[in-house]
């Protein structure tokens, strides 16, 4: 399946929603420290409901540790400055879908990492800062999964 990577997420509710997203789609969720919360945070637990035990969630000390564990063939970095639209990508199982912290997005250094296959954007109206992190991940993951015929689901 696909792998979602949140680099330094700050808002516990977004990560809780991503845990739920991972559980219902079969995606893996990878979190790169520092995290803006701990796993005992009530907002994270509430947003993830009882899906924590059903999701594959891995926390990495830094991005280098994440790359070593993931050994990604392709990494798509989602940013408002992306050159490609998320719908123009032909996603493949195992792709890493990387998103940055809610307040600032991915740093220039992370976006320029040699492992990044493409910088990708979701369309938005002009003069808007960003889309909610969990919502952005959901939109992209479901497009990627749709392209795979919703493999493994009961709803196809």
Known binding positions for S-adenosyl-L-methionine: 100, 122, 130
What does the CA dihedral 92, 98, 89, 104 come to, rounded to 10 degrees?
170
Cis? peptide before 34, omega within 30° of 0: yes
Q: Which residues are known binding-site members?
A: 100, 122, 130
Give rounded-to-5 percent helix, strand, coil for the chain.
35, 20, 45
Asked if 96 and 72 touch (Cβ cutoff 8 Å), the reply is: yes
DSSP-assigned states of every residue in 96-123: EEEE--TTT-S-HHHHT-TT--EEEE--
């Amino acid at each position: 399946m696909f792998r979602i990577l949140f680099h330094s997420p700050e808002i516990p509710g977004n990560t809780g929603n991503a845990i739920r997203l991972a559980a219902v789609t079969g995606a893996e969720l990878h979190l790169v420290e520092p995290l803006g919360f701990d796993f005992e945070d009530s907002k994270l637990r509430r947003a993830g409901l009882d899906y924590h035990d059903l999701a594959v969630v891995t926390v990495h000390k830094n991005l280098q540790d994440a790359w070593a564990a993931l050994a990604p063939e392709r990494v798509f970095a989602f940013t408002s400055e992306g050159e490609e639209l998320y719908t123009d990508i032909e996603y493949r199982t195992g792709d890493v879908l990387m998103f940055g912290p809610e307040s600032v997005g991915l740093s220039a250094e992370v976006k320029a990492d040699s492992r990044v296959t493409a910088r990708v954007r979701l369309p938005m109206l002009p003069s808007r800062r960003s889309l909610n992190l969990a919502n952005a991940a959901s939109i992209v993951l479901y497009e990627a999964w749709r392209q795979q015929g919703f493999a493994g689901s009961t709803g196809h």
